[in-house]
């Protein structure tokens, strides 16, 4: 049975305390201790290519998964670049074929399971809903709002509807309900009703009146078989902001991304569970920009071994633009500006003893032959961020084997000014995005199942 938590009223958040007292009266001491030790929110996080994933396709080789991840990452980046203007936020491509992470939770009463893509580059959380005028196939059951006791539509005049500035809100003529429409790259889209529902996370914590998109018309050519999207951006309708607004839960998340080929899942945490602590924690400031969806940080350069390369903005070769990179769990690979990328490659080539070769599948810019002994010795590559943050990148994630005997650099060039920190370069770190204190914390770890 889930423990239901209702939204706060008149700025007084007493119900969780009452629930806690009642729970202690009816449960054993060990059970009550478990609840008090989990005052935040936690959900399962798993890579879509992991054998533990419901989307795992055993017929694909590991090389095919790398190629699929590259195609997804390139499509997403093209979409961000083409839509990144002052009049509208970047619209991103979400291609759950490979290279993404899934977040598991439940929705409705009675609840059904959702497996949505955890995406720091989106705000609105949405899932496919019955009846479907057009829906794609998904692994988990499609949510039917008529079967849920807690489903309700959102009024067109509501504050939540008005906040959908870039989701193309409109009014449903007969009910005056709020409708949304979201377009992604590769012709993927979703449209339907803006609604509220009960969402259940780990520890059976249920939160009512969470705003989400109930999609009745969805095209899923690039959405695979996922349930939809879990928006982890900084905008007003993201799940992070809603938990803060309606439940006074700190606007913080933390996650640790396991390696795609691992047989482990990890956790994504919200609120007090998302605090990242320890003597090795490194922190860099979040930078506010015009569009609040993306989590921007300031990238200062990269080191190849002991050779440090400083990054300078295109507008001024003497300074670093604040907030020049955003953290994107939906992109597999990291993107650098073209001029800096080739400067980095020159330093990398000098430090490597590898034999350059072409990737037979195309896409990656720089590839090398893998030695006969099976060990590709890469120099230590470190990314530098404002505040003295030095991220030593995982060799296994920085150079990926794309074909038998061929390894390629999992970092790519881009002509736009925005740089992207992709999820491959976040592997082996517990990352905390703290919107309360406007910072991002990084804690190195070799075990995502127990990162602290």
Nearest to 420, CA basis, from 294, 305, 313? 294
119 part of the active site: yes
CA dihedral 261→264→265→271, nearest 10 degrees, is -110
The residue annotated as part of the active site, out of 328, 418, 434, 441, is 328
Provide the pairing of β-strand 205-219 with 3-5: parallel
Are β-strands 411-414 and 334-337 bridged in parallel, bridged antiparallel, or unpaired?
parallel
Q: 244: which 2 tokens?
A: 């803060």
With contact defined as beta carbons under 8 Å apart, do 390 and 384 qualify? yes
Query: What are the φ and ψ backbone dihedral angles of 344, each rounded to 5 degrees?
Result: -65, -40
Strands 3-5 and 389-392: unpaired
Whole-angstrom distance, CA of residue 303 vs CA of residue 354: 18
Q: How many residues does the chain have?
A: 452
- Which two three-digit tokens encode residue 384? 């530098």
| Catalytic, out of 49, 119, 434, 441 | 119
- Local structure of residue 9 (DSSP, 8 states): B
Buried b (16+ CB within 10 A) or exposed e, 41-74: bbbbbbbbbbeebebeeeeeeebebbbbbbbbbb
Q: Coil, strand or helix: which one is 76?
A: helix
What DSSP designation does 12 have?
A: B
Instruction: Provide the 10 A C-beta neighbour count for residue 358.
Output: 10
Residue whose token pair is 């230590």:
380
Closest CA to 263 of 10, 50, 80: 50
Q: Is residue 349 annotated as part of the catalytic site, yes or no?
A: no
The set of catalytic residues is: 119, 328
């Amino acid at each position: 049975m889930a423990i239901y938590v209702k939204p706060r009223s008149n700025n007084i958040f007493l119900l969780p305390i009452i629930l806690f007292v009642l729970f202690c009266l009816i449960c054993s001491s060990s059970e009550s201790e478990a609840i008090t030790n989990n005052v935040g929110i936690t959900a399962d996080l798993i890579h879509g290519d992991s054998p533990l994933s419901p989307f795992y396709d055993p017929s694909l080789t590991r090389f095919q998964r790398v190629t699929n991840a590259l195609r997804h990452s390139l499509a997403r980046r093209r979409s961000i670049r083409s839509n990144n203007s002052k009049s509208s936020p970047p619209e991103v491509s979400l291609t759950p074929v490979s290279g993404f992470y899934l977040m598991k939770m439940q929705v409705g009463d009675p609840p059904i399971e959702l497996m949505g893509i955890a995406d720091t580059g989106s705000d609105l959380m949405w899932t496919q809903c019955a009846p479907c005028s057009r829906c794609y196939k998904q692994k988990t059951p499609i949510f039917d709002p008529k079967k849920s006791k807690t489903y309700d539509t959102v009024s067109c005049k509501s504050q939540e509807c008005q906040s959908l500035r870039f989701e193309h809100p409109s009014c449903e003529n007969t009910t005056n309900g709020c409708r949304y429409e979201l377009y992604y790259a590769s012709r993927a889209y979703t449209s339907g009703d803006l609604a509220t529902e009960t969402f259940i996370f780990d520890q059976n914590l249920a939160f009512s009146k969470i705003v989400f998109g109930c999609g009745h018309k969805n095209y899923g050519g690039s959405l695979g078989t996922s349930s939809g999207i879990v928006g982890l951006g900084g905008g007003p309708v993201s799940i992070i902001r809603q938990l803060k607004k309606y439940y006074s839960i700190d606007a913080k998340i933390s996650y640790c991304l396991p390696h795609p080929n691992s047989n482990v899942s990890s956790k994504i945490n919200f609120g007090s569970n998302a605090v990242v602590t320890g003597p090795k924690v490194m922190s860099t400031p979040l930078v506010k920009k015009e569009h609040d969806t993306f989590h921007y940080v300031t990238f200062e350069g990269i080191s190849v071994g002991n050779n440090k390369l400083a990054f300078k903005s295109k507008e001024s070769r003497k300074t670093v633009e604040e907030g020049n990179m955003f953290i994107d769990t939906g992109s597999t690979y990291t993107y650098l500006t073209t001029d800096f990328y080739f400067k980095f490659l020159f330093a990398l080539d000098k430090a490597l003893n590898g034999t350059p070769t072409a990737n037979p599948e195309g896409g990656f810019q720089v590839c090398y032959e893998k030695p006969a002994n099976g060990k590709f010795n890469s120099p230590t590559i470190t990314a530098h961020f404002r505040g003295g943050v030095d991220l030593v990148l995982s060799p296994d994630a920085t150079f990926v084997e794309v074909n038998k005997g061929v390894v390629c650099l999992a970092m790519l060039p881009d002509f736009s000014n925005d740089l992207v920190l992709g999820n491959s370069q976040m592997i082996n770190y517990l990352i905390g995005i703290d919107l309360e204190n406007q910072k991002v914390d990084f804690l190195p770890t070799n075990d995502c199942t127990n990162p602290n």
